[in-house]
Amino acid sequence: MGENLLRVPGGAQLHSNSLIRPVPQYQTLRVKMVLLGSSGVGKSSLALRFGKDEFRRTSPTVGCAYLTRVVHLRDVTLRFEIWDTAGQEKYHSVTPLYYRGAHAALLVYDISKKETFIRAQLWLKELEKQYTPGSTVIWLVGNKGDLAQDRQVSVQEGQTLSNDRGLFFTETSALSGEQISELLVAVAHRVYECVGAQQGGLPEWQETPLVDLRHRDTLNPFASCCKVGP
């Protein structure tokens, strides 16, 4: 899907109790990561891949959805709180409530739909109003790499936009899982290096009770949405 594809940095691994053995316990830091982009670009599918390494056909997100994933780096553990925001225009006014204070933001577009690439640039302008430079790692993500035969946005266009705006960039496929783990680990490294190095940059995670603010929707693969707590 392009020459910009990421590789997993040395000394890092994703943690899943069912997939790998536990690693030594280090300090655990909280990382808030938000996914932004038009409806239908695959944000929910990406979030599900990040959180559970699964792919399912999903309905449009209502408000937001929330998942977690733990990433172990060489000397620290990062607990990602992944917020999947609704892409429909009617939710646009409330979306800043979810991405405010994010340590990482993924601007997602569909490589087979040019309008979603244009829309991602509008999301970037909105995001820039809410964050202090250096406090948020912003990554441009061209999703649906499995639709390369229908491509409307070239790799070069994505890379050029990223270079011009100081963003990181890669292409993924939530359907096939290509570059998903690599992307999450790369984001973890960048957040820890760029944000975690600042005084008070990343808060330490402490387990507290979660309060579910929404009736559980059996059709929603996330099974928990809009929670208060770490």
Which CATH number is 33's domain given?
A: 3.40.50.300
Q: Decide if 4 is inside a domain.
A: no
On whether residue 186 sits in a domain, the answer given is yes
Residue 196 is assigned to a structural domain of this protein = yes
The answer to whether position 5 is within a domain reads no
pLDDT per residue over 113-158, tens digit each?
999 999 999 889 888 887 777 789 999 999 999 999 999 999 999 9
Task: Read off the pLDDT of each residue in 158-176 and give the average, rounded to a whole number.
Answer: 96
Within a domain: residue 73? yes
The answer to whether position 26 is within a domain reads: yes
Residue type for position 212: D
Domain around 53: 13-203+215-228
pTM of the model: 0.75
Please indicate, yes or no, if residue 95 is contained in any of the structural domains. yes
Count of domains observed in the chain: 1
C-alpha closest to that of 167 among 159, 156, 175, 178: 159
One-letter amino acid for residue 216 of the chain: R
Q: Is residue 197 over pLDDT 90?
A: no
Whether 3 maps to a domain, the answer reads: no
pLDDT range class, residue 166, cuts 50, 70, 90: very high
Per-residue model confidence as pLDDT tens digits over 21-47? 454 556 899 999 999 998 899 998 999
What end-to-end distance do the CA atoms of the chain give, in Å?
35
Q: Which helix or strand (DSSP H or E) is residue 211 part of?
A: strand 211-212
| Average confidence score pLDDT of the chain | 77
Model confidence pLDDT, tens digit, residues 86-111: 644 444 554 567 778 889 999 999 99
